[in-house]
A and B are shown apart, each in its own frame.
Chain A
Amino acid sequence: MAALELLSAEGFRPDGRRPAELRKLRARMGVFAQPDGSAYIEQGNTKALAVVYGPHEMRGPRSKALPDRALVNCQYSMATFSTGERKRRPHGDRKSSEMSLHLKQTFEAAILTELFPRSQIDIYVQILQADGGNYCACVNAATLAVIDAGIPLRDYVCASSAGLVEDAALADLSYLEEAAGGPQAALALLPTSGQMALLQLDSRLHEDRLGAVLEAAGGACRAVHAVLDRVVREHVRELTALLGD
């Protein structure tokens, strides 16, 4: 069987996108009433939910509280039915623990934690359907949820993945492209300043090509930023309309 062609001679990807094109991105804020902030995002067939509780008093051992800033607590879980083959447990495996850690790192860089000393902010993300770019969908959903909770951020955190196929950098990889096993990078960007909150590169990549991959991921992050910004503005407009003038 011939290997799957990830980029056709005409420059199209298996799902018909151009190399730098994103999947359809749709999002909504304020999905749930009980948490302080919540958001839902769809990136193509990847669907993620994020909720935020806090900032609140420390739960559990007080000794964990940080005297100068808030503790950011993240949990990443995947619904057991989210993947092609059924998962046995939604969280607690090695991969989700790593994801939780990555999310924590990303949001510690973005949230103005020093405003809330000795308190805790919980961010819980849930993948409902997995089709590549799970980490990125989670970061984007969590950003919206944090904004919905009214927690001050340095900037939006926008994430996107990118890969390299035959010298062409592909943005926003789908599961099919991820599974092909080429080099891929996940990037979380604070778009206004251009700072990177998280960068992770898997498998081997020549140094000369790194620029192109990062460029593709960065471009995708900025495109995600434009969409997220529109969603936030629309949400706020709706809210103010409900409150009356």
Chain B
Amino acid sequence: MAAVCLSEAEKLYIVHGVQEDLRVDGRGCEDYRCAEVETDVVSNTSGSARVKLGHTDILVGVKAEMGTPKLEKPDEGYLEFFVDCSANATPEFEGRGGEELGTEIANTLYRVFSSEGSVDLKSLCINPREHCWVLYVDVLLLECGGNLFDAISIAVKAALFNTRIPKVRVLEDEEGSKEIELSDDPYDCIRLNVDDVPCIVTLSKIGYRHVVDATLQEEACSLASLLIAVTSKGALTCMKKIGKGSLDPESIFEMMETGKRVGKALHIALQKILDEEESLGTTRQKVGFLG
């Protein structure tokens, strides 16, 4: 991550501001930065989305490939997460430098999506024990300006919303051998229901208060953060403390309450954007990185 060096005075300025519910960029403690979301930006994926949250820039591509179901869940498909911290974000990620952070984020995503019902995995099954869809969710980190986890989870949800999996039929002949037939119509596809896909809200403890969507400067002032995954109904699917400091139990409950409230609002705002984009259909002018 781009290294930020703050002097004591600068840190104090940020901490005192947070105490007064006024942050350096004029936001309150529970406000997100302006986010840009665009789906369907990479045409050779099953679904893709780009999210820009302040200076944090994330591109997610979902590819559906056929695989074999896992032994313990023979009638379900599964999701695979991979996070590429590209050298675009910072020269430190060159070569294998970004692998550690990438693995950490990918593991967090696995945990966030581990709760049953976040995605209907049964709909990804083609025929039990033999074939299922594997959704490869590949996250590409292009620029980091703080609050990676939230931006990534928003992008993943948007990309899953955008995902279209071709419909296939299983034909069985007299000898019992099975054949998979792909639908001729490219528009004949399965969409995922993303209503219960959680979003991550990271709450950073700064001084005696906590803020959401911390910038790099604010992250440098915060000793510990609590990462929670919230569904649109306000249910928590994952919780994790990150950062080198410690948190006391009381503040954890406070942060959870804030996280739920902010998370619900986030889901509503995101769903509204996604629906708007969807309603424009093919008439939408794709902006991508050119805008």
Give the interface of A toward B (CB within 8 A).
26, 28, 31-35, 38, 40, 42, 45, 47, 49, 51, 53, 59, 73, 75, 77, 79-86, 90-92, 122, 124, 126, 128-131
Identify B86's interface contact among A45, A73, A84, A124, CB under 8 A: A124
Residues of B within 8 A of A129 (CB): 42-44
Cross-chain pairs A/B with CB under 8 angstroms, 27 sampled: A26-B290, A28-B289, A32-B55, A32-B142, A34-B90, A34-B144, A38-B88, A45-B44, A47-B42, A49-B289, A75-B95, A79-B59, A79-B138, A79-B140, A81-B44, A81-B48, A81-B138, A82-B61, A84-B44, A86-B63, A90-B140, A122-B94, A124-B88, A124-B91, A124-B94, A126-B86, A126-B140
- One of B2, B136, B290 near A34 (C-beta < 8 A): B2
By the criterion CB–CB under 8 Å, are A86 and B136 in contact? yes
Given A77-B87, A81-B62, A129-B42, 19 more pairs with CB closer than 8 A? A26-B290, A32-B57, A33-B55, A33-B145, A38-B88, A40-B288, A40-B289, A40-B290, A49-B142, A77-B86, A79-B42, A79-B140, A80-B82, A80-B136, A81-B140, A84-B44, A90-B84, A92-B95, A126-B86
Contacts of B142 in A (CB 8 A): 32, 49, 126
What residues of A have a CB within 8 angstroms of the CB of B2 in the complex? 34
- B-to-A contact residues, CB < 8 Å: 2, 42-45, 48, 55, 57, 59, 61-63, 65, 82, 84, 86-91, 94-96, 136, 138, 140, 142-145, 288-290
Interchain CB contact under 8 A, A34 and B289: no
Alpha-carbon separation in the docked complex, A83 to B42 (Å): 10
**B143 partner residues in chain A, CB cutoff 8 A:** 32-35
Q: Tell me the minimal C-beta distance from B182 to chain A in angstroms.
A: 15
Q: Are B43 and A45 in contact (CB under 8 A)?
A: yes
CA distance A51 to B89 in the complex (A): 9
A26 CA / B286 CA spacing, docked (Å): 13
Closest 10 CB pairs of A and B: A81-B61, A40-B289, A124-B87, A80-B138, A90-B84, A81-B138, A86-B63, A81-B45, A51-B88, A32-B143
Question: Quick one: given A49-B289, A124-B94, are A75 and B57 in contact (CB under 8 Å)?
Answer: no
Closest B residue to A50 by CB, please name it: B88
A35 touches B88 (CB 8 A): yes
B44 touches A82 (CB 8 A): yes
Inter-chain contact B91/A53, CB cutoff 8 Å: yes
CB distance from A59 to the nearest CB of B (A): 6
Q: Output the nearest chain A residue to B62 by Cβ-Cβ distance.
A: A81
Give the complex CA separation of A210 and B288 in angstroms.
38
By a CB distance below 8 angstroms, the chain B residues around A34 are 2, 55, 89-90, 143-145
Whether the Cβ atoms of A59 and B61 lie closer than 8 Å is no
Which residues of B sit under 8 angstroms from A84, Cβ to Cβ? 44
Question: Which residues of chain B have C-beta atoms less than 8 A from A53's C-beta?
Answer: 91
- A122 and B84 contacting across the interface, CB-CB below 8 Å: no
A79 to B62, CA, bound (A): 12
**Shortest CB distance B131–A (Å):** 17
The smallest beta-carbon distance between A237 and chain B, in angstroms, is 17
Q: How far is the CA of A34 from the CA of B94 in the complex (A)?
A: 16
Q: B65 — which chain A residues lie within 8 A by C-beta? A: 85-86
Closest to B63 in A: A86
For B43, B91, B288, the residue with the greatest tally of chain A CB atoms inside 10 Å of its CB is B91
A35 to B87, CA, bound (A): 10
Determine which of A82, A90, A124 lies in contact with B42 in the assembled complex, contact meaning CB atoms within 8 Å: A82
A49 & B88 in contact (Cβ 8 Å cutoff): yes
Q: In this complex, what residue of B is CB-closest to A45?
A: B43
Complex Cα distance, B289 from A201, in Å, reads 32
Which residues of the other chain, B, contact A122 by a CB distance below 8 angstroms?
87, 91, 94
B59, A31: Cβ atoms under 8 Å?
no
Please report the C-alpha to C-alpha distance between residue A21 and residue B157 in the assembled complex, in whole angstroms.
40
**A26 to chain B: which residues have CB within 8 Å?**
290
Chain B residues whose CB sits within 8 angstroms of the CB of A82 once the complex forms: 42, 44, 61
Chain B residue nearest to A56 (CB atoms) is B91
Q: Are A75 and B55 in contact (CB-based, < 8 A)?
A: no
- Shortest Cβ distance from residue A107 to the other chain B in the assembled complex, whole angstroms: 15
Cβ A81 vs Cβ B87 within 8 A: no
Q: How far, in angstroms, from A91 to B93 measured CA to CA in the complex? A: 12
State the CA gap A91–B95 with chains docked (Å): 8
CA gap between A53 and B2 in the complex, in Å: 12
Residues of A within 8 A of B45 (CB): 81
List residues of chain A with CB within 8 A of the CB of B43: 45, 129
Task: Given A40-B290, A128-B59, check contact A59 B91 (CB 8 Å).
Answer: yes
Q: Which of B43, B88, B138, B145 has the most CB of A within 10 A?
A: B88
Question: Using Cβ atoms and an 8 Å threshold, which residues of chain B touch A124?
Answer: 86-88, 91, 94
A73 CB to nearest B CB, Å: 8
